[in-house]
Amino acid sequence: MASIRDLKKDINFVLGDIIEAVYIVEAANSKQDSKEGVKIIDDAIQTFDDLIAKVNIRKVEDRKAHLKGVRQELEQKAVALVDRLNKLG
């Protein structure tokens, strides 16, 4: 299994890329600060905070399974955010 540091980096990079993509789509469509774009960014930041908090929980019964669940949750939430991003453009 990948290290905890790598999982934290993945969370940061994935959600950071989604936020950056919102800005790119809005700039390409001349829609800076659209309500839906701001909502996607807010949700990405909230997802980041939630996932990092879950990674930092040390007192779980099976740490490996817990971290695997966090990685799966990252994937699910990232896909949902990208779907919303695709509708933005």
pTM (two decimals): 0.90
Q: How far apart are CA 37 and CA 53, in angstroms?
A: 24
Domain ranges of the chain: 4-88
Residues 6+ apart with CB under 8 A from 77: 47, 51
Question: pLDDT tens digits for 5-60?
Answer: 999 999 999 999 999 999 999 999 887 778 999 999 999 999 999 999 999 998 98
